[in-house]
Amino acid sequence: MTIRLAIIGAGIMGADHARIFAEDLPGSTLTVICDASEERARTVADNTDATDISTDPLACIARADVDAVLIASPDGTHAELTLAAIAASKPVLCEKPLAPGTADCQRIIHAETATGRRLVQVGFMRRFDPAYSEMKRKLDEGHLGRALMMHNFHRNVETPPSFTGAMAITNSAPHEFDAARFVLGGNFRSISAVQPKRTDTLVAPVVMILQTTDDQVVTIEVNNNAAYGYDVRGELVGELGSVTLGTPVWSRTHIGLSASETYDADWRSRFAEAYRLQNRAFLAFAQTGTPSKIASSAWDGLVSTLIAEKGVEALASGKTVPIEIPEPPALYRN
Protein backbone atom coordinates (compact mmCIF):
# COMPACT_ATOMS: atom_id res chain seq x y z
CA MET A 1 0.00 0.00 0.00
CA THR A 2 1.45 3.38 -1.02
CA ILE A 3 1.20 5.94 1.76
CA ARG A 4 0.32 9.47 0.66
CA LEU A 5 2.06 11.96 2.91
CA ALA A 6 1.60 15.55 4.01
CA ILE A 7 4.83 17.20 5.19
CA ILE A 8 4.06 20.09 7.52
CA GLY A 9 7.02 22.45 7.73
CA ALA A 10 9.51 22.98 4.88
CA GLY A 11 12.47 24.17 6.94
CA ILE A 12 15.72 22.25 7.46
CA MET A 13 13.97 19.20 8.98
CA GLY A 14 10.87 19.12 6.75
CA ALA A 15 12.98 19.47 3.63
CA ASP A 16 15.24 16.61 4.72
CA HIS A 17 12.32 14.35 5.63
CA ALA A 18 10.70 15.08 2.25
CA ARG A 19 13.98 14.20 0.52
CA ILE A 20 14.27 10.93 2.46
CA PHE A 21 10.75 9.81 1.54
CA ALA A 22 11.14 10.91 -2.09
CA GLU A 23 14.59 9.38 -2.64
CA ASP A 24 14.87 6.46 -0.24
CA LEU A 25 11.42 5.16 0.67
CA PRO A 26 9.37 3.59 -2.13
CA GLY A 27 5.86 2.89 -0.90
CA SER A 28 5.33 6.58 -0.11
CA THR A 29 4.31 9.56 -2.19
CA LEU A 30 4.32 13.24 -1.21
CA THR A 31 0.85 14.70 -1.69
CA VAL A 32 1.51 18.13 -0.20
CA ILE A 33 4.30 20.22 1.27
CA CYS A 34 2.95 22.78 3.72
CA ASP A 35 4.73 25.81 5.12
CA ALA A 36 3.87 29.34 6.24
CA SER A 37 6.13 30.43 3.38
CA GLU A 38 4.62 29.44 0.04
CA GLU A 39 8.01 29.96 -1.57
CA ARG A 40 9.71 27.56 0.84
CA ALA A 41 7.00 24.97 0.31
CA ARG A 42 7.35 25.34 -3.46
CA THR A 43 11.14 24.87 -3.30
CA VAL A 44 10.80 21.60 -1.37
CA ALA A 45 7.93 20.42 -3.60
CA ASP A 46 9.96 21.10 -6.74
CA ASN A 47 12.94 19.23 -5.31
CA THR A 48 10.85 16.18 -4.37
CA ASP A 49 8.13 16.02 -7.05
CA ALA A 50 5.45 16.56 -4.41
CA THR A 51 2.02 16.98 -5.98
CA ASP A 52 0.90 20.14 -4.21
CA ILE A 53 1.83 22.89 -1.80
CA SER A 54 -0.16 24.67 0.90
CA THR A 55 0.09 27.23 3.68
CA ASP A 56 -2.81 25.69 5.67
CA PRO A 57 -1.61 22.76 7.84
CA LEU A 58 -5.03 21.78 9.18
CA ALA A 59 -6.46 21.60 5.66
CA CYS A 60 -3.51 19.43 4.60
CA ILE A 61 -4.10 17.01 7.47
CA ALA A 62 -7.82 16.77 6.53
CA ARG A 63 -7.22 16.08 2.81
CA ALA A 64 -8.77 12.86 1.49
CA ASP A 65 -5.58 12.23 -0.52
CA VAL A 66 -3.39 12.29 2.62
CA ASP A 67 -2.99 9.01 4.55
CA ALA A 68 -0.28 10.08 7.02
CA VAL A 69 1.33 13.25 8.32
CA LEU A 70 4.87 14.34 9.17
CA ILE A 71 5.13 17.39 11.41
CA ALA A 72 8.37 19.36 11.16
CA SER A 73 6.97 22.83 11.90
CA PRO A 74 8.09 24.97 14.85
CA ASP A 75 7.94 23.23 18.25
CA GLY A 76 4.99 25.36 19.46
CA THR A 77 2.75 24.04 16.65
CA HIS A 78 3.39 20.34 17.27
CA ALA A 79 0.58 19.71 19.76
CA GLU A 80 -2.26 21.27 17.76
CA LEU A 81 -1.20 19.54 14.55
CA THR A 82 -0.66 16.16 16.22
CA LEU A 83 -4.11 16.43 17.81
CA ALA A 84 -5.59 17.22 14.39
CA ALA A 85 -3.95 14.12 12.88
CA ILE A 86 -5.31 11.98 15.74
CA ALA A 87 -8.79 13.46 15.23
CA ALA A 88 -8.50 12.54 11.53
CA SER A 89 -7.33 9.00 12.50
CA LYS A 90 -4.12 9.52 10.50
CA PRO A 91 -0.71 8.19 11.62
CA VAL A 92 1.62 11.06 12.46
CA LEU A 93 5.38 11.32 12.83
CA CYS A 94 5.96 14.40 14.98
CA GLU A 95 9.47 15.85 15.14
CA LYS A 96 10.82 16.24 18.67
CA PRO A 97 9.77 17.60 21.01
CA LEU A 98 6.21 16.25 20.94
CA ALA A 99 5.37 19.57 22.62
CA PRO A 100 7.46 22.00 24.68
CA GLY A 101 5.15 21.56 27.69
CA THR A 102 3.83 18.46 29.49
CA ALA A 103 0.25 19.80 29.53
CA ASP A 104 0.08 19.65 25.74
CA CYS A 105 1.77 16.24 25.75
CA GLN A 106 -0.90 15.01 28.16
CA ARG A 107 -3.64 16.28 25.82
CA ILE A 108 -2.09 14.19 23.05
CA ILE A 109 -1.84 11.10 25.29
CA HIS A 110 -5.50 11.53 26.24
CA ALA A 111 -6.62 11.93 22.64
CA GLU A 112 -4.60 8.96 21.35
CA THR A 113 -5.65 6.74 24.25
CA ALA A 114 -9.31 7.62 23.58
CA THR A 115 -8.97 6.23 20.05
CA GLY A 116 -7.77 2.89 21.45
CA ARG A 117 -5.03 2.68 18.83
CA ARG A 118 -1.48 3.98 18.39
CA LEU A 119 -1.23 6.78 15.83
CA VAL A 120 1.71 8.89 17.04
CA GLN A 121 5.44 8.33 16.53
CA VAL A 122 7.87 10.94 17.87
CA GLY A 123 11.06 11.86 16.00
CA PHE A 124 13.71 10.69 18.46
CA MET A 125 15.65 9.14 15.60
CA ARG A 126 18.77 8.20 17.57
CA ARG A 127 17.01 4.97 18.61
CA PHE A 128 17.51 3.94 14.98
CA ASP A 129 21.16 5.08 14.78
CA PRO A 130 23.42 2.04 14.22
CA ALA A 131 25.90 3.27 16.87
CA TYR A 132 23.25 3.63 19.61
CA SER A 133 21.69 0.33 18.52
CA GLU A 134 25.05 -1.43 18.91
CA MET A 135 25.62 0.23 22.30
CA LYS A 136 22.23 -1.05 23.50
CA ARG A 137 22.81 -4.52 22.04
CA LYS A 138 26.19 -4.86 23.81
CA LEU A 139 24.51 -3.99 27.12
CA ASP A 140 21.49 -6.21 26.59
CA GLU A 141 23.73 -9.16 25.64
CA GLY A 142 25.61 -8.82 28.94
CA HIS A 143 29.03 -7.83 27.59
CA LEU A 144 29.30 -4.81 29.93
CA GLY A 145 27.83 -6.27 33.07
CA ARG A 146 25.64 -3.84 35.00
CA ALA A 147 25.42 -0.37 33.42
CA LEU A 148 26.76 2.25 35.82
CA MET A 149 26.99 5.50 33.83
CA MET A 150 26.29 7.03 30.45
CA HIS A 151 28.18 10.14 29.37
CA ASN A 152 26.78 12.27 26.53
CA PHE A 153 28.11 15.25 24.57
CA HIS A 154 25.80 17.05 22.17
CA ARG A 155 27.47 19.92 20.33
CA ASN A 156 26.05 22.09 17.54
CA VAL A 157 28.03 24.64 15.55
CA GLU A 158 25.77 27.54 16.49
CA THR A 159 22.23 28.30 17.54
CA PRO A 160 19.64 29.48 15.01
CA PRO A 161 18.29 33.02 15.56
CA SER A 162 15.15 31.98 17.48
CA PHE A 163 17.03 29.66 19.87
CA THR A 164 16.69 30.55 23.58
CA GLY A 165 18.88 29.42 26.49
CA ALA A 166 16.18 27.09 27.78
CA MET A 167 16.00 25.35 24.38
CA ALA A 168 19.38 23.74 25.05
CA ILE A 169 17.36 21.70 27.56
CA THR A 170 13.89 21.65 25.95
CA ASN A 171 14.88 21.24 22.27
CA SER A 172 18.33 19.64 22.08
CA ALA A 173 18.76 17.62 25.28
CA PRO A 174 15.54 15.58 24.76
CA HIS A 175 17.58 13.54 22.28
CA GLU A 176 19.83 12.41 25.12
CA PHE A 177 16.96 12.03 27.61
CA ASP A 178 15.27 9.64 25.17
CA ALA A 179 18.45 7.89 24.00
CA ALA A 180 19.51 7.17 27.60
CA ARG A 181 16.05 5.78 28.44
CA PHE A 182 16.23 3.64 25.27
CA VAL A 183 19.75 2.29 25.91
CA LEU A 184 19.37 1.76 29.66
CA GLY A 185 15.76 0.63 29.47
CA GLY A 186 14.83 2.58 32.57
CA ASN A 187 13.68 5.97 33.83
CA PHE A 188 15.11 8.94 35.71
CA ARG A 189 14.45 10.03 39.31
CA SER A 190 16.39 13.32 39.55
CA ILE A 191 18.19 16.00 37.53
CA SER A 192 20.64 18.83 38.30
CA ALA A 193 21.99 21.39 35.83
CA VAL A 194 24.75 23.96 35.70
CA GLN A 195 26.27 26.10 33.01
CA PRO A 196 29.55 27.99 32.53
CA LYS A 197 29.63 31.69 31.68
CA ARG A 198 30.64 32.71 28.15
CA THR A 199 32.48 35.93 27.35
CA ASP A 200 29.81 36.72 24.75
CA THR A 201 26.01 36.66 24.76
CA LEU A 202 25.66 33.35 22.90
CA VAL A 203 23.66 30.50 24.49
CA ALA A 204 26.11 28.87 26.90
CA PRO A 205 26.56 25.11 27.34
CA VAL A 206 24.47 23.27 29.91
CA VAL A 207 25.79 20.29 31.87
CA MET A 208 23.22 18.00 33.47
CA ILE A 209 23.55 15.08 35.87
CA LEU A 210 20.64 12.67 36.09
CA GLN A 211 20.11 9.69 38.35
CA THR A 212 18.04 6.74 37.20
CA THR A 213 15.51 4.81 39.25
CA ASP A 214 18.06 1.95 39.13
CA ASP A 215 20.79 4.13 40.71
CA GLN A 216 22.78 4.75 37.55
CA VAL A 217 24.22 8.15 36.57
CA VAL A 218 23.79 9.91 33.22
CA THR A 219 25.74 13.05 32.36
CA ILE A 220 24.74 15.26 29.45
CA GLU A 221 26.59 18.24 28.03
CA VAL A 222 24.67 20.29 25.47
CA ASN A 223 26.71 22.98 23.75
CA ASN A 224 24.71 24.65 21.03
CA ASN A 225 27.50 27.08 20.16
CA ALA A 226 30.49 24.74 20.02
CA ALA A 227 31.68 26.52 16.84
CA TYR A 228 34.01 23.74 15.57
CA GLY A 229 31.42 21.29 14.24
CA TYR A 230 28.42 19.10 14.87
CA ASP A 231 29.72 16.57 17.37
CA VAL A 232 27.65 14.01 19.27
CA ARG A 233 29.48 11.57 21.52
CA GLY A 234 28.39 8.98 24.01
CA GLU A 235 29.94 6.37 26.27
CA LEU A 236 28.09 3.69 28.19
CA VAL A 237 30.13 2.45 31.16
CA GLY A 238 29.44 -0.91 32.77
CA GLU A 239 31.08 -2.95 35.48
CA LEU A 240 33.00 -5.00 32.88
CA GLY A 241 33.81 -2.40 30.23
CA SER A 242 32.37 0.41 28.13
CA VAL A 243 31.02 1.17 24.68
CA THR A 244 31.57 4.50 22.91
CA LEU A 245 29.55 5.70 19.94
CA GLY A 246 31.32 5.54 16.59
CA THR A 247 30.85 8.50 14.29
CA PRO A 248 30.62 7.90 10.52
CA VAL A 249 33.80 9.58 9.20
CA TRP A 250 34.38 8.64 5.54
CA SER A 251 37.98 9.83 5.19
CA ARG A 252 41.01 11.22 6.98
CA THR A 253 43.51 13.51 5.29
CA HIS A 254 47.28 13.01 5.90
CA ILE A 255 49.37 15.96 4.75
CA GLY A 256 52.43 17.83 6.09
CA LEU A 257 53.07 15.69 9.17
CA SER A 258 49.46 15.98 10.24
CA ALA A 259 46.18 14.12 9.91
CA SER A 260 42.71 15.63 9.94
CA GLU A 261 39.09 14.73 9.58
CA THR A 262 36.14 17.06 9.09
CA TYR A 263 33.02 17.62 11.18
CA ASP A 264 29.52 18.00 9.77
CA ALA A 265 27.88 21.42 9.94
CA ASP A 266 24.69 19.91 11.37
CA TRP A 267 22.96 16.65 12.30
CA ARG A 268 21.61 15.59 8.92
CA SER A 269 24.70 13.72 7.75
CA ARG A 270 25.72 12.31 11.14
CA PHE A 271 22.25 10.79 11.61
CA ALA A 272 21.33 10.21 7.96
CA GLU A 273 20.90 6.45 8.45
CA ALA A 274 18.94 6.98 11.66
CA TYR A 275 16.48 9.30 9.92
CA ARG A 276 16.10 6.86 7.01
CA LEU A 277 15.43 3.92 9.29
CA GLN A 278 13.11 5.98 11.50
CA ASN A 279 11.07 7.17 8.52
CA ARG A 280 10.99 3.64 7.08
CA ALA A 281 9.62 2.38 10.41
CA PHE A 282 6.97 5.12 10.34
CA LEU A 283 5.97 4.12 6.81
CA ALA A 284 5.54 0.51 7.95
CA PHE A 285 3.53 1.77 10.92
CA ALA A 286 1.25 3.73 8.58
CA GLN A 287 0.87 0.74 6.25
CA THR A 288 0.17 -1.88 8.94
CA GLY A 289 -1.14 0.04 11.94
CA THR A 290 1.48 -1.72 14.07
CA PRO A 291 3.99 0.68 15.66
CA SER A 292 7.71 -0.05 15.63
CA LYS A 293 8.92 -1.53 18.95
CA ILE A 294 12.00 0.73 18.70
CA ALA A 295 10.37 4.04 17.81
CA SER A 296 9.37 6.66 20.39
CA SER A 297 5.68 6.85 21.22
CA ALA A 298 3.71 9.85 22.44
CA TRP A 299 4.40 8.54 25.94
CA ASP A 300 8.15 8.74 25.30
CA GLY A 301 7.54 12.26 24.01
CA LEU A 302 5.74 13.18 27.24
CA VAL A 303 8.50 11.70 29.42
CA SER A 304 11.26 13.59 27.58
CA THR A 305 9.34 16.86 27.87
CA LEU A 306 8.71 16.18 31.58
CA ILE A 307 12.45 15.63 32.15
CA ALA A 308 13.22 18.81 30.20
CA GLU A 309 10.81 20.84 32.35
CA LYS A 310 12.57 19.53 35.48
CA GLY A 311 15.93 20.33 33.90
CA VAL A 312 14.92 23.94 33.30
CA GLU A 313 13.74 24.10 36.93
CA ALA A 314 17.04 22.61 38.15
CA LEU A 315 19.10 25.12 36.16
CA ALA A 316 17.05 28.04 37.48
CA SER A 317 17.11 26.88 41.12
CA GLY A 318 20.61 25.44 41.26
CA LYS A 319 19.08 22.47 43.08
CA THR A 320 18.69 18.79 42.26
CA VAL A 321 15.06 18.36 41.22
CA PRO A 322 13.17 15.09 41.64
CA ILE A 323 11.59 13.50 38.56
CA GLU A 324 8.47 11.39 39.03
CA ILE A 325 7.46 9.45 35.93
CA PRO A 326 4.09 7.67 36.25
CA GLU A 327 3.35 4.26 34.81
CA PRO A 328 2.31 4.51 31.14
CA PRO A 329 -1.28 3.77 30.08
CA ALA A 330 -1.79 0.24 28.69
CA LEU A 331 -1.71 1.57 25.13
CA TYR A 332 2.01 2.32 25.53
CA ARG A 333 3.19 -0.85 27.25
CA ASN A 334 5.06 -3.02 24.72
Q: What is the dihedral of CA 305, 307, 311, 317, to 10 degrees?
A: 110
Compute CA distances 126 → 13, 122, 123, 135, 267, whole Å: 15, 11, 9, 12, 11
Shortest CB 215 distance to ligand ISE, Å: 29
* 238-244 contacts, C-beta under 8 A, 24 or more apart: 238/139, 238/143, 238/144, 238/145, 238/146, 238/147, 238/148, 239/144, 239/145, 239/146, 239/148, 240/143, 240/144, 240/145, 241/143, 241/144, 241/145, 242/144, 243/134, 243/135, 243/138, 243/139, 243/143, 243/144
- Residue 4 or 17: the one with the smaller Cβ distance to ligand ISE is 17
Shortest CB 273 distance to ligand ISE, Å: 14
CB atoms within 10 A of CB 167: 21
x/- map, 248-267, ligand ISE, by CB under 6 A: -------------------x
In terms of DSSP bridges, do strands 188-194 and 206-212 run parallel, antiparallel, or are they unpaired? antiparallel
- Residue 126 or 310: the one with the smaller Cβ distance to ligand ISE is 126
Shortest CB 172 distance to ligand ISE, Å: 3
x/- map, 85-114, ligand ISE, by CB under 6 A: ------------------------------
Q: Is 171 in the site for ligand ISE (CB under 6 A)?
A: yes
Which residue in 2, 13, 131, 127 sits closest to 77, CA to CA?
A: 13
- The residue sitting closest to ligand ISE, measured at its beta carbon, is 172
- Residue 113 or 224: the one with the smaller Cβ distance to ligand ISE is 224
Shortest CB 130 distance to ligand ISE, Å: 16
Using CB under 6 A, which of the segments 167-175, 204-212, 301-309, 320-328 binds ligand ISE?
Answer: 167-175
Using CB under 6 A, which of the segments 1-9, 16-24, 76-84, 169-177 binds ligand ISE?
Answer: 169-177
Q: Is 278 in the site for ligand ISE (CB under 6 A)?
A: no
Q: Is 172 in the site for ligand ISE (CB under 6 A)?
A: yes
Q: Is 156 in the site for ligand ISE (CB under 6 A)?
A: yes
Shortest CB 163 distance to ligand ISE, Å: 7
List CB contacts of 61: < 8 A, sequence separation 6 or more. Answer: 6, 8, 69, 81, 84, 85, 88, 90
Shortest CB 238 distance to ligand ISE, Å: 26
Shortest CB 250 distance to ligand ISE, Å: 20
The three-point CA angle 106-110-112 to 5° equals 115
x/- map, 174-193, ligand ISE, by CB under 6 A: -x------------------
Provide the binding-site residues for ligand ISE, judged by CB under 6 A.
156, 171-172, 175, 267
